[in-house]
Amino acid sequence: MDQGKPKYRRILLKLSGEALMGEQGYGICPETLTKIAAEVKQIHDRKVQIAIVVGGGNIFRGFAASVKGMNRANADYMGMLATVINSMALLDALQASGIPARVMSAIEMRVVAEPYTRNRAMHHLEDGRIVIFGAGTGNPYFTTDTAAALRAIEVDADVIMKATKVDGIYTSDPMTDDNAVKIDTASYMNVIEKQLKVMDTTAISLCMENKMPIMVFNMTEPGNILKAVMGETIGTIVEE
């Protein structure tokens, strides 16, 4: 597998904010960042072009705050800022591993990140830099799942790889239901109609309209992202 040709030339990796917490339950775990950077380096070394969208739930959740009375737009902007903090932390880990990378923000903050433009993002990817997209879409009421779908389509990614703590999509939550059955492949409409927890409906609809496949896999298993990029059958594929 390691000596073969990668199945995908350009990917968008979607990480949740919780993926950066490790076992500490909140915030950012430096050891976890180092492990993620090592996994990403394996595919970067194989000349795969990598874009990353990271959530902010380990720091702040806009929707949860709005439920408790905070103005939804303000809460969402706070969540976007949390994603930029995570993006900067991930940038530091990647650079420490010797990987060239850039953070691009949908909200302009030139001191810490480049303003997002498609042309500039494409230039970075084609020059071998990892691009981390921060601040979601730059608009309230949209999740980082939707941001991942939008950016993947904009940069012509071959696939969205959504990293989770389980090895794919199940008929119900495998953490709480012993009868949950793993699904190897699913259509976009299956995901929407059965309300399978992959991405929000806006993100799934955007992927369906643009025929953008989504791979859901377990990134906590060492080597899985390399296996996925090389074409090994792991996780669940959502496609037409």
Provide the residue range defining the domain that includes 132. 10-239
Share of the chain above pLDDT 90, in %: 70
Is 4 part of a structural domain of the chain?
no
Is 143 part of a structural domain of the chain?
yes
The answer to whether residue 128 scores a pLDDT higher than 70 is yes
The answer to whether residue 70 scores a pLDDT higher than 50 is yes
Average pLDDT over every residue of 1-28: 87
Q: In this predicted model, which residue has the larger pLDDT, 140 or 68? A: 140
Is 1 part of a structural domain of the chain?
no
Q: In this predicted model, which residue has the larger pLDDT, 53 or 63? A: 53
Is 117 part of a structural domain of the chain?
yes
Is 2 part of a structural domain of the chain?
no
CA 147 to each of CA 53, 115, 137, 174, 186: distance values in angstroms, whole numbers, following the listed order = 7, 15, 5, 27, 22
Q: In this predicted model, which residue has the larger pLDDT, 121 or 68? A: 121
What is residue 3's predicted lDDT score, i.e. its pLDDT? 60
Is 3 part of a structural domain of the chain?
no
pLDDT tens per residue, range 206-233: 999 999 999 999 988 899 999 999 988 8
Is 33 part of a structural domain of the chain?
yes
Is 196 part of a structural domain of the chain?
yes
Segment of 25-29, 152-156, 160-164 carrying the highest mean pLDDT = 152-156
Average pLDDT over every residue of 174-203: 87
Task: Give the model's confidence band at 1: pLDDT under 50 very low, under 70 low, under 90 confident, else very high.
Answer: very low
Please state, in angstroms and rounded to a whole number, the distance separating the CA atoms of residues 155 and 20: 25
Please state, in angstroms and rounded to a whole number, the distance separating the CA atoms of residues 159 and 5: 16
Per-chain mean pLDDT for the chain: 92
Domain count, the chain: 1
Residue 99 CA to chain centroid, in angstroms?
Answer: 18
Please state, in angstroms and rounded to a whole number, the distance separating the CA atoms of residues 155 and 158: 9
Q: At what angle do helices 118-126 and 144-154 cross, to 10 degrees?
A: 70
pLDDT tens per residue, range 176-185: 888 888 888 9
Q: Residue 177's domain is classified under what CATH number? A: 3.40.1160.10
What is residue 169's predicted lDDT score, i.e. its pLDDT? 86
The answer to whether residue 174 scores a pLDDT higher than 90 is no
